[in-house]
Structure 1
Amino acid sequence: MERDSLFLKGLTGEVVTVKDPNYNEARQEWNRANQKFPLIIVYCERRQDVVNAIHWARKHCVDIRIRSGGHHYEGYSNGDFVLVIDISRLNKLKLDKKKHILEVEAGAKNTEVYDFVGSNGYVFPGGTCPTVGVSGFTLGGGWGFSSRLYGLGCDSLLELELVDYEGRIIKANKNCNADLFWACRGAGGGNFGVVISMTFQLPKPTQRSVTFIRFYYVNTTIAKQIDVMNIWQNWLPKLDKRMTLVTSFYNAENEGLGIFGTGFFYGPSKLAKKILQPFVEIKGFRLNLEESSFLEAVKKVEATYPPFEKFKSTGRFVQRNYTVEELKNIGTSVQSPPDGSVYAAISFYALGGEIKHIDKEETAFYYRDAKYIMGVQSVWIEDKYARDNQEWVRERFEMIKNMTKGSYVNFPISELKNYDKEYFGGNAQRLKRVNQKYDPFNVFRFPQGLK
């Protein structure tokens, strides 16, 4: 015991090791398919805890991982024999109603921010899953149901604070460490240092209601999926920017083939119904529209998420329209799900609107001109089916890779070759230079990190 305390000397906050009874729960992330066994987990409750953890890790030559919500698809916010700096308890929120500015400690989750701003009459362009950390979401760009109207999460960012490899707290905004600020808007979490706070410019509060959209098709077939995909790709370029949707073409264990769409429209339900009219052309269309406050709409989305899942999921950027034959290939890719899959899908996440009005070199998020993100995923319950499901996603990823250009860093896949070029496009070299400047010894290294 005395040897352990000497070894851990210098660490502050709540320190969890393999010998602690809560270790097994503490090491889990949202994607339970990723099972990692860190050496130590430090729950930081003050900024100094982060500083001390970095100093300790460097002194003992232990690799660092940074975790806020624990939602990295490939589990890179955790690792074997590493020190996990968990910032989830750094979650204080502060609102300046005169300037409409939100200050967020970097461990805050989507649901915490939504509750805080929503109860004060504001909206926040965050993500869909309630327990995603706002810092990780923002660092990777940040897509959500408000993105086409208010931009990506990173587009509202005014400033951040970061603890660097030497334990110094650095401030970054457009006027101070501007290169680091540029990089932190789209380069993904885990690089450069440990972000401890973020400041966002909120849209001015309005009394305007949000229409929560859900639609689906009954008696779905492959042909119907292809027809809806074709409507989507022709309808999206002219879509009112107040509407942001994701539409999934899936094969579920208890349902078979299906089509489901969901999202927000910042306007009345009557107009939302009119905008969605092209989808009525395909027989079996069912539509549910609910007008409510922003916070009430967010709560309805949050209620659809389980406490955790086992899955493999990734996403690519779509730059062009597809032929009917290409759409057929996409549609048939979910016709035969892997053994043990309870839900396999190809999903289309709408881009455009305010996202494309920012130049691709103005932030690190490069693929501003893409039409939508095409995601592929499979979810399973029993561990014995993990390999089959992971391989199924990898195979379909290779198919869509040939039809797309660039991968979304917040929907990563570990098998991606030339990942820096794929995630960051023409901004990759500039990001490497920024990383060399702010993390010259590559202290914050992880699989697919900037080198």
Structure 2
Amino acid sequence: MKSYIYRGLTGKVITRYSPEYEEARQEWNRAIQKFPLAIVYCHNTEDVSNAICWARSRDIRLRIRSGGHHYEGYSTGNDVLVIDVSQMNHIYLDEVSNTVQVQGGVTNHQLYHRVAAEAYPFPGGTCPTVGVIGYTLGGGWGYSSRIFGLGCDSLIELEMVNSMGKVIKANETHNSDLFWACRGAGGGNFGVATGMTFRLPPKIDKVTLVELEYLQASTEIRIQFLSAWQQWLMDLDQRITINVSIYNSVVDGIGIYGRGLFYGTAKEADMVLQPLLQLEGARFDLKEMTFFEAIQKIEESYPDSEKFKSTGRFVNRQYTMAELKNIADLIGWRAEGSVYAAVSLYALGGKVGAVNKKDTAFYYRDADYIMGIQSVWKDRRYESDNTDWVHRRFKYLESITDGSYINFPYSCLLNYEREYYGGK
């Protein structure tokens, strides 16, 4: 290796000749296997700026990575320079102003741990190792969205290194167009976001962790659940946010599993959930605990990595019984080599829909929920079978939904600008 080639880069530089390269190049989705020219772990905005200027001067493409959770692997690439901000993970909480500042590499787990120490909740994501900034740039759905809004709805200001290597700020009054775009238009489009300041929700004592399950769910039960779900969402108490997966697992067969948070007592949660709990075979668990205890329970279910194909679309209408049957049948069989396949539903509404769709780049404010499709496999030889399985089912979902969620991206979209941004 000729070390002078990388002269001008600061921070920790990993090249193809570095012993750490093989591990450093990996994304959370192990189905993504790319080979960047180099990875620079930045420790401050100067490192980021130097990386941008170095790449521009050499006409080398850039990718930006924080948590490395991009579904399609756009935070890495072949023969690119990966600007990795995961080492920039300082958090400053100000109880006087009820705000929290995070650097670009802070993860959901790190932020939850910090704010919960002072009894604050936060409208963050569900997977512990997802980067807070990438999550927010795409809007940010989580288990507190219906009561506090999307992650981007709590954003007050952001810091970004632009394409010229200059550090800039954006808020409602300064670079307001950039601030508008960075609330829902996705990461990697406008610069390297190196910091964000959020408004914190009120402190809380307890929440109720909600879990519900239907084991060995027949086609009829799946249809009944989907019908009850879409009716239930119409006037739902905004204190609850939940997602439910209709799954086909190599271990558990076909079933339904849901989980979420209710900002109230278990007794109140029981009343709110009754339309779903009355279905035959329903099992549920409602436990009051601190916000951080609930988050820890949720985080425990996530593996360190997976191989998967997944995406999600917005739903804003009621489906007919025939359509509900089609949806229920999507997971009737798994692709060869698949260990888990699911249609997942993520509740919207509440404070998400209270924001005017023109006020941020997140367009689908009036959607009732997000409907996702996914398949997970372990053996790399089954990748094409599983991606084909998802693609065929996506074609049907595309025909009955209205747009794609940029935080659940899909590389096969024919008009991604229209699908992600609603034409904005």
Tell me the TM-score normalized by structure 1: 0.93
Q: 1:387 maps to what in 2?
A: 384
Taking the aligned partners of 1:426 and 1:200, their CA distance within structure 2 comes to 28
Taking the aligned partners of 1:362 and 1:219, their CA distance within structure 2 comes to 44
1:395 positional shift? 0.7
Q: 1:83 maps to what in 2?
A: 81
Deviation track 1:250-296 (CA, whole Å, cap 9, x = no partner) reads 10001211000100000000110111111232211000111111111
Tell whether 2:64 aligns with 1:58: no
Among 187, 210, 225, which residue is 2:207 paired with? 210
1:245 positional shift? 0.4
Deviation track 1:225-264 (CA, whole Å, cap 9, x = no partner) reads 1100000000111110000000110100012110001000
Q: 2:148 maps to what in 1?
A: 150
Matched position secondary structure for 2:275:
helix
Q: 1:273 maps to what in 2?
A: 270
Taking the aligned partners of 1:199 and 1:59, their CA distance within structure 2 comes to 32
Taking the aligned partners of 1:270 and 1:188, their CA distance within structure 2 comes to 38
Taking the aligned partners of 2:179 and 2:276, their CA distance within structure 1 comes to 41
Q: 1:445 maps to what in 2?
A: none
Taking the aligned partners of 1:237 and 1:311, their CA distance within structure 2 comes to 32
- 1:155-304, aligned counterparts within 5 Å? 155-207=153-205, 209-304=206-301
The total of aligned residue pairs comes to 424
Taking the aligned partners of 1:370 and 1:11, their CA distance within structure 2 comes to 44
Among 30, 41, 44, which residue is 1:43 paired with? 41
Deviation track 1:397-436 (CA, whole Å, cap 9, x = no partner) reads 1100000001000001100011011000032xxxxxxxxx
- 1:117-156, aligned counterparts within 5 Å? 117-156=115-154
Matched position secondary structure for 2:213:
strand
Q: 2:312 maps to what in 1?
A: 315
Taking the aligned partners of 2:150 and 2:329, their CA distance within structure 1 comes to 31
1:204 positional shift? 2.1
Q: 1:448 maps to what in 2?
A: none
Structure 2 gap segments, 5+ residues each: none
* One-letter amino acid matched to 2:203: P
Taking the aligned partners of 2:410 and 2:207, their CA distance within structure 1 comes to 33
Tell whether 2:414 aligns with 1:417: yes
Q: 1:33 maps to what in 2?
A: 31
Structure 1 gap segments, 5+ residues each: 428-451
1:106 positional shift? 1.3
Taking the aligned partners of 1:280 and 1:246, their CA distance within structure 2 comes to 15
Matched position secondary structure for 1:233:
helix
Taking the aligned partners of 1:133 and 1:206, their CA distance within structure 2 comes to 24
* One-letter amino acid matched to 1:264: L
Deviation track 1:350-400 (CA, whole Å, cap 9, x = no partner) reads 000000000101000000000000000000000011000001001111100
Q: 1:449 maps to what in 2?
A: none
Among 3, 11, 17, which residue is 1:13 paired with? 11
* One-letter amino acid matched to 2:340: Y
Matched position secondary structure for 1:99:
coil
Taking the aligned partners of 1:350 and 1:18, their CA distance within structure 2 comes to 43
Tell me the TM-score normalized by structure 2: 0.99
* One-letter amino acid matched to 2:97: K
Taking the aligned partners of 2:170 and 2:293, their CA distance within structure 1 comes to 34
Q: 1:347 maps to what in 2?
A: 344
1:219 positional shift? 3.1
Taking the aligned partners of 1:132 and 1:259, their CA distance within structure 2 comes to 25
Taking the aligned partners of 1:183 and 1:270, their CA distance within structure 2 comes to 41
Contact 2:215-2:254 at 8 Å conserved across structures: no
Contact 2:169-2:175 at 8 Å conserved across structures: yes
Contact 2:209-2:294 at 8 Å conserved across structures: yes
* One-letter amino acid matched to 1:242: R
1:89 positional shift? 0.5
Taking the aligned partners of 2:74 and 2:343, their CA distance within structure 1 comes to 24
Taking the aligned partners of 1:426 and 1:188, their CA distance within structure 2 comes to 15
Taking the aligned partners of 1:173 and 1:122, their CA distance within structure 2 comes to 23
Contact 2:216-2:253 at 8 Å conserved across structures: no
Q: 2:401 maps to what in 1?
A: 404
- Aligned residues: percent identity? 55
1:220 positional shift? 1.2
* One-letter amino acid matched to 1:79: G
Taking the aligned partners of 1:70 and 1:290, their CA distance within structure 2 comes to 32
